[in-house]
Structure 1
């Protein structure tokens, strides 16, 4: 992990990096870009510098313990994701496989709430007796290319992944016919159905 931590991060021109002092002599790294603003606290056992001319963000550790080596790589990954997130954003795509002979039959997704409202809701019809409503958190954008495909976007990679997982958990793919909500490209291993043997 320390080899990852030693790699500098190239920051695009569209991203502004600010480094502030934090509690107990730690540092707070703030990244601002077209997709939003993110912050990351850094322990005082690490130094972080941003070189304006080269546009390189560097992170160094002051101790060589196993824990600090692991944290070095972790912090570097978090900072790299922040830079990419505010510059380009992250996305996760899901698809709904319903009943019938065609994908999506009986399942659908729609957005509730006026465009631009913060408290928009994702409404899922997935075979239950009533629709499932999920409040969309701040910092997350939802796009519905059609009624059975969902795109989750945001600057925070972890938040995008967590919200996509929350949507999938509403109706995870079942193992006999594959019905449910799955990630795009996800392979669901189906089990053979029980054979019916009639008595003579």
Structure 2
């Protein structure tokens, strides 16, 4: 049932790919990424198209087959066009600002929360309540967005917290008073 692994990956003209045994290195206008691929998987480059193949027909090789193809595809997309995650702060007094290499969040606690911005990540704060995270590594962008969201996840009664853009919070009815 492996279908994703069979799809070839088209490499844009502004991206360079190097395959050395089990290490694939992809560089483009936005950055340079490399990843070690399992021995169960082989990667071949021909005519600006990357092919991923299984070396064995085992369960683990099947699992790594689609995963490896997706990771390589994300690397190609990331160095050619960056990934982006948008967060929104909802709540009275919730705001964000940039100071040096830190993102400062005021989320209703008695203290501000400082988050160090990793190398290769750009953060834009819009109107103190919108945070746009961009970067060429999808894993780092997603992890940073999840870390920021975990500082004050949205709650179902008032809808306050840090939300992904477009996220809909199912609201609950509070206690009914007599």
**TM-score normalised to the size of structure 1?**
0.85
Aligned to 1:46: 41
Structure 1: gaps (5+ residues):
22-26, 100-105, 114-119
Q: How many pairs does the alignment contain? A: 178
Aligned to 1:116: none
Alignment root-mean-square deviation, CA:
1.2
1:124 to 2:90 alignment:
no
Contact 2:41-2:64 within 8 A present in 1 as well:
no
Aligned to 2:6: 6
Aligned to 2:60: 67
Aligned to 2:18: 18
Structure 2: gaps (5+ residues):
none
Q: Whole-Å Cα distance in 2 between the matches of residues 8 and 196 of structure 1?
A: 61
Q: Which has the larger radius of gyration?
A: 1
Q: Paired residue for 1:158, among 132, 139, 150?
A: 139
Q: Whole-Å Cα distance in 1 between the matches of residues 82 and 155 of structure 2?
A: 31
Structure 1 stretches of 4+ with a deviation exceeding 3 A read none
Q: Whole-Å Cα distance in 2 between the matches of residues 38 and 146 of structure 1?
A: 33
**TM-score normalised to the size of structure 2?**
0.95
Displacement, 1:44?
2.3
Q: Paired residue for 2:78, among 67, 85, 90?
A: 85
- CA deviations over 1:135-158 (Å, ceiling 9, x no partner): 111121111122100011111111
Q: Whole-Å Cα distance in 2 between the matches of residues 164 and 89 of structure 1?
A: 15
2:57 is paired with a residue whose SS is coil
Aligned to 1:102: none
1:184 to 2:165 alignment:
yes
Contact 2:86-2:164 within 8 A present in 1 as well:
yes
Displacement, 1:2?
2.4
